Structure 1
Amino acid sequence: MATSGSYTTTPLTRIVWGPGSLSQLPELLDALPHVSGSTSSDGPRRALILTGNSLANKTDVIRRAEQALGPRHAATFTGIGEHAPVEGIKEAVRLMEQHGATALVAIGGGSPIDAAKAVSFYIHRESAHADNDDERSFVPIIAVPTTLSAAETTQNAGFKENNKKTGVSHRSLVPRVLLLDGDVTRHTPERLWLSTGMRAVDHSIELLYRPDVSPLLRGTWLMAMRELFTLLPLSKAQPDNVDVRQRLQLAAIASLWPESRKGALGLSHGLGHALGATYKIGHGITSCLTLGPAIQLTAALPSTGAEQLLALADARAFIPAPFATPVPIGATPSSLLQGKPDLDAARKQGKEVGEAVQKLV
C-alpha cells in the first residue's frame, strides 16, 4: 500500500449549480482570467458558443445562452458532431479569430466540451504564447454539460481524425468554470442521459483500480457510485424531476473529480475509445457494453494490485438494493496494514461489483 503520494488539482476554479443558473453566464465570463501579457483585458470578454445541431435546432437552450450573454456573445458554432470531428474544431478556431472571441462556452455533451478544449489547444499552439505553459495563456472555457459524461472535469480532449480517435492533453485545457443547470438537461434524450450516467459509473469504478491515482479521492468516487446507482433508476422513472437530474450532475462530477491525468482510465474506457470512434457508438453506450465484463476480468487478473483489488471489493458495500444484497463495509485497503488480506474474498466481491453493474445496465 502506498504510504506516500500526491494530489494535483486542476485550473478548475468554480462550480455553479442549480436550475436556472444558465442566467449567470455574464458574471462567470467576467470572472475568467485574461491571457497573460495580452491586450484582451482592455475590454470585456466575448465568447464563442460551441454546441451541436440538435441542441441548437430542437431546443431553446442555445437561444437562452445567447440572450444571457447579450453583448458578450461573439458567435455560435453548431457544427460539433459526435466524437468531435477535427474539421469542426478547425472551423471553430477560424471563427474565434474572425469574431475576436476570447473565451469559449461549450454547451452539450462530451463532444462539444472536448472540442472546446481542442480549440483552446490549437489557438495556444499558434499564438505568441506557445512556449508559455501558464494557464492564463490558454483561451478559458466555461462548460455547460447536458449529459453525465463528466468530460468537463478532465484535461483530455478526444476527437476524431481520419475516422480514428485521437486527441490532445494539457492541464490548462480543463474548463475554468462548470455550470450545472439541471433544467437544461431536460432536453437530453433519455438514451443519451442514462447511458452517459453509466459512463459516470464507469469513471467511479475504474478509478478505484487504476494504480496511479490518489487514494485521497477514493471516498469521493465510492459515494458518487452509490448516488449514481440510486439516482439513475429514479431519473428513468421520473424523467421530469429536475431535482434528481441536478443531483445526478453533481454525482457525475464527483465520479471523475478533477486531477491532472492523461489517457483512458482503464480497460473499459480504452475499449470504449476504440469502439466509439470506429463504429460511431456513443461513449455512454460503450460503457454499457464493456464495464461489467471489464470489472470482472480485472477482479480475476493476478496482475491487479492488492490495494486496487481491495478498493474494488470495497465498492461492493456501496451498491444499494436491488442491484446487490446490502453488506457491511468489508475488506478495505487498510487491511493491508493488519496482516495478509483475503485476496480471494476480494476477488469474489469485485466480481459481484461487475454483476451489479450488469443489472444496472
Structure 2
Amino acid sequence: MPELNKGMVVLTSTERVRFGERAAQSLKAEAEMMDNKRVFLIASDSLVKNTDEIAQIEAALGERHAGTFSGVQPHVPRTDVMAATEQARDAGADLIVSVGGGSVTDCAKIVPVMLKHDIRNADDMEPYHITVDDAGAMVLPQFDAQDIRTICVPTTLSGGEFNPLSGSTDPVSKHKQGYQERVMAPVSLVLDPAMTVHTPEWLWLSTGVRALDHAIETLQSLHSNDFSDGQAMSALKLLIEGLPRAKADPGDLDARMKCQMGVWQSMLPIIAGVPMGASHAIGHVLGGLCDVPHGYTSCVMSPFVLRWNESVNDHRQATIRDAFGQPNTSASELVDNFIASLGMPRSLSAVDVTEDRFQQVAEYTMDDIWGKTNPRPISEPADVMQILELAK
C-alpha cells in the first residue's frame, strides 16, 4: 500500500464572502451587522476620479463613513502605507475597506497592523515583514494581532484579498516584502462583478493570468494534495472559460463572476499551505525591482517556468493539460497560447526587462519567500538565469 500523503490545510480568519450584489449594499449590510461606526475606505484612484462607485459606497454608509484615501501606487511603496495609516488614524477608523486592485488591497490589509503598533515612519515597518533564512524557509515576525478588521472589494483578479499575506515595497532596496498575520485576512469579501467593468481590459486579463498562475503552480507543485489539486483544477477551468468570454464581451457579468470564483478557488491552495514556485518568486522581483505590473509578471514567466520544470514534474503537469482538454500538448505550450490569445505580453523584453537586469533579478529571487520551493530545485542564481534566458 502506498504511503498516505500527510499534511495540514490552514484556514484563514475570513468569515464571509458576499457575491453578485452591488458593493454599496453589501458594505452597508456588513457595517450594520458588525456595528462599525467609523468606516475608512482605501480606494482606487481611478474609481474615485472616473466613476461614481466610491461616492455610492460613501452615500450608502452615510454617517458611518469616516473618510476615503486614494492614490496607492503599484507595488505598494511603504510611504503610501504610512500615508493611508495616518489618515485612518486621524479619522478614528474602526473598519478598513479596500475597493480596487491588488495594490489597494495590500495597503488596506497592512494598515490595521500599523495602527495597532502605532507605526508612524516607513523605516519602522522593517521588523514586521517576512524574511527568508539560508535554507529558504520563511521567518515570520511575531507581533500582536490587529484590533481593526478589513473588508476587501476587489476589482482585479490578482487574488491577494483572499489571504493573510500582503506585500509592500521598500523604496530603498526595491524589495517587495511580505507581511503576514492570520487576522490580516479580511473578515469578509465582496465580489461585485458589475464593479469590475471599470477595470481596464489589460489589467483585468493580466491579473486573470496571475490567478491562472496560482492554479498552475499548485498543480505542478510536488507539495500539493487532493484538496488543493481539486480547487486548482476547478479554478483553472473557470478561468479558461471566463477570461476569453469577458474579453469578447466586457459586459458579460456572468463571465466576470466565473473569473472571480476562479480566483477564489485558485487562492485556497496558497492559503492552505501549498508553496508557489519560480513564477511567483521571480514575479515578485520583477514587480518591485523592475516595476512590471503584477499580472504581467505571470504572463511572461508562467509558460517558461513550466518548460523548465517539465523534466521533474511532467506527471503533475498532466493535470494542466487535462484542464485545457489537450492531454497530448505540453502544458507550457498550452499556457503560452492561451496567454497570447488574450493579447498579453509574452516575453521579458515585451515588459522592458532587458538582459542587463537578469543577474540582479536572479540574485533577488533567492531571497523571495518562494525562491526555494520550486518543483525543480533552485539552489543558486544561475538556476534562475536559465529561466530568464528562456523568457527573454
Calculate the TM-score normalised by the size of structure 1: 0.81
Q: State the Cα deviation string for residues 199-253 of structure 1 (Å, max 9, x = none).
A: 0100011012334444322111101101111111111111111121122111111
Counting only pairs closer than 5 Å after superposition, residues 254-293 of structure 1 correspond to structure 2 as 254-257=265-268, 260=271, 265-293=276-304
- 2:206 is aligned with 1:201: no
Aligned residue number for residue 121 of structure 1: 113
**TM-aligned CA deviation for residue 68 of structure 1:** 1.6
**TM-aligned CA deviation for residue 13 of structure 1:** 0.6
- 2:91 is aligned with 1:96: no
Aligned residue among 140, 162, 165 for 1:153 = 162
Aligned residue number for residue 143 of structure 1: 152
Aligned residue number for residue 55 of structure 2: 63
* In structure 2, C-alpha distance between the alignment counterparts of 1:23 and 1:273, rounded to whole Å: 35
**TM-aligned CA deviation for residue 157 of structure 1:** 1.0
**TM-aligned CA deviation for residue 134 of structure 1:** 7.6
Q: Does the 8 A contact of 2:270 with 2:276 survive in 1?
A: no
Q: How many residue pairs get matched? A: 315
* In structure 1, C-alpha distance between the alignment counterparts of 2:284 and 2:273, rounded to whole Å: 14
* In structure 2, C-alpha distance between the alignment counterparts of 1:258 and 1:222, rounded to whole Å: 11
SS at match of 1:210: coil
- 2:334 is aligned with 1:356: yes
Aligned residue number for residue 323 of structure 2: 318
Go from structure 1 to structure 2 and tell me whether the alpha carbon gap of 1:201 and 1:209 turns closer, same or farther (over 3 Å shift): same
Q: Does the 8 A contact of 2:102 with 2:158 survive in 1?
A: yes
- 2:237 is aligned with 1:226: yes
Aligned residue number for residue 252 of structure 1: 263
Q: Which runs of 5+ in 1 are unaligned?
A: 33-42, 328-348
**TM-aligned CA deviation for residue 266 of structure 1:** 1.2
Q: Does the 8 A contact of 2:23 with 2:153 survive in 1?
A: no
Calculate the TM-score normalised by the size of structure 2: 0.75
Q: Which runs of 5+ in 2 are unaligned?
A: 120-127, 129-140, 340-392
Root-mean-square deviation (CA, aligned residues, Å) is: 2.4
**TM-aligned CA deviation for residue 172 of structure 1:** 1.3
* In structure 2, C-alpha distance between the alignment counterparts of 1:144 and 1:314, rounded to whole Å: 31
**TM-aligned CA deviation for residue 164 of structure 1:** 2.7
What is the one-letter code of the residue matched to 2:81?
I
Aligned residue number for residue 135 of structure 2: none
Q: State the Cα deviation string for residues 41-68 of structure 1 (Å, max 9, x = none).
A: xx74321101232121112221111112
Aligned residue number for residue 362 of structure 2: none
SS at match of 2:193: coil
Go from structure 1 to structure 2 and tell me whether the alpha carbon gap of 1:212 and 1:174 turns closer, same or farther (over 3 Å shift): farther
What is the one-letter code of the residue matched to 2:168?
F
What is the one-letter code of the residue matched to 1:87?
T
**TM-aligned CA deviation for residue 20 of structure 1:** 2.0
Q: Does the 8 A contact of 2:13 with 2:186 survive in 1?
A: yes
What is the one-letter code of the residue matched to 1:145?
P
Q: Does the 8 A contact of 2:218 with 2:228 survive in 1?
A: no
Q: Does the 8 A contact of 1:12 with 1:176 survive in 2?
A: yes
